[in-house]
Each structure stands twice: as C-alpha cells, then as structure tokens.
Amino acid sequence: MQTPMPDSPIISKLLSQGKIWTADKTHDAMPEKVVPSGYPVLDAELPGGGWPIGAVTEILYPQVSMGELRMVLPALKQIAQQDQRWQLWLNPPGQPYGPGLNSWGVSLRQTLVCDNLSPKEFSWVIDQSVQHSGCSVILAWATRIEPAQLRRLQLASERRDIIIFLFRPINQANPLSYSRLKLSIKAGSQPLFIQVDILKRRPGWPVSGLEFPIPLYGSEWR
C-alpha cells in the first residue's frame, strides 16, 4: 500500500478535521476549548491560549511549593464562575490554606479535598471522579501513575470536559505520556519568578525558558 504524500487528499482531509496537525501550526491547527492561565507569557505558548479543557496536563517539579499550584489558581477562579461542579484535590502535599485560596478567588464551597489516599485508593477515586463527571477540575498529586491509567484519564476527560492537573516529581516522570500538555517548572532568575519548559503540547514543538512572576497571594497578582 502506498503511503499518502503530504499533499494527498487524505492528508488534507485529516488536517481540515483537526485529526492530524503540523507542528509549526501551534495556534491554527485545530480549535481548542481552553481556560486562560492568567499568565500572558504562558498563554502565548499554550495552544488555544490557555489550559486545555477535557485534557490531562502534567506539571513536573523538582520539589513541592515551586509555584506549581499558584500556576493554576487563576484558572480555578474562572472555572468556578462558569461551572458549579466540584473542584477536587487529591493527595495535596499540605493542608490547603483557606485564606490564601480566598485571596486568589478560589471557591471554597466547590473545593473538595481527599488526602492521605493509598495508591490503590488514589487510582480508584480519580477514575470514579472522571467517569461520573461530578468535577470540573481535578488537581492530583501522584508520585507514580501507570501509562495505561493516564491514557484512560485523558480519554475520559475529553468526553466529560474535565480538566485534570497532574502534579508529579520530575524524577518520577515517565517519558511515555498520553497527556495533552506536559510542563516542567523550576525556580526563576528572580524571587517569586518561575521558569517553565513546555515538554509536550498538542499541537506544537516543545519550548523552553519561559519565565514570569507568580506572587504568593492573589491580592498581589497582576
């Protein structure tokens, strides 16, 4: 069977349907449902201009409290204003600080926290939460997650319009990843600055060295 050439009708049809894309068309290849991150430097490089809805986004960090949570807090505020479903936190590394979340406009009434879950309990809770569509967002901290489960979560989140932020230590990252978006973070060149490398984005090539400030409290944001 002859392999279709790039200018073939088959390729053109798949491109027009958004089922394949060329890596130089980061923002034009297919429409994305997104919520802006609230950080213009980051949004400029995210396909569609924000965090993808109906997708798994992996955020890798060298140690906790590098700014990984504050990266997503502006989006949680926006989502809560449009979607009344739960925002589920699974195995956060510390007790969420209510006044701090309030300063970012996070809806505490919609925030549900499940902590101290065993690996088996974690897998069951996250699978059930996605399948039953009771959440708009899931924030999950996991040291290990199997590629097969990550693929299931990606497919299920697409069907349910759920955003999954999966926070993982960078030394536990699996190069085989079915997530839509994959980032790594580290401390920036100035206090309260963060440096972000986009390791995987669909569509688009990876990009490195994005740097921007992330304040400690939402009252200092912008």
pLDDT, tens digit only, all 222 positions of the chain: 444 445 566 655 555 545 454 555 544 444 579 999 999 999 999 999 999 999 999 999 999 989 999 999 999 999 999 999 999 999 999 989 999 999 999 999 999 999 999 999 999 999 999 988 889 999 999 888 888 888 999 999 999 999 999 999 998 777 777 899 999 999 999 999 999 999 999 888 999 999 999 998 887 666
Percentages helix, strand, coil for the chain (3-state, rounded to 5) are 30, 25, 45
Classify residue 21: in a domain, yes or no.
Answer: no
Q: Is residue 55 part of a domain?
A: yes
Which residue, chain included where needed, has tokens 């400690």?
216
Tokens coding 219: 């009252």
Q: Is residue 69 part of a domain?
A: yes
| Position 122 in a domain | yes
Position 99 in a domain: yes
Q: How far is CA 64 from the centre of its chain?
A: 16
The CATH number of residue 46's host domain is 3.40.50.300
Q: Note the pTM of the prediction, 2 decimals.
A: 0.85
**Structural domain containing residue 62:** 29-220
| Residue 17 forms part of a structural domain | no
Query: Are 100 and 94 within 8 A, CB to CB?
Result: no
Considering only CA atoms, which of 111, 101, 177, 168 is closest in space to residue 141? 168
Is residue 160 domain-resident?
yes
Nearest to 94 by CA among 68, 121, 60: 68
Instruction: Specify the DSSP class assigned to residue 160.
Output: H
Count of domains observed in the chain: 1
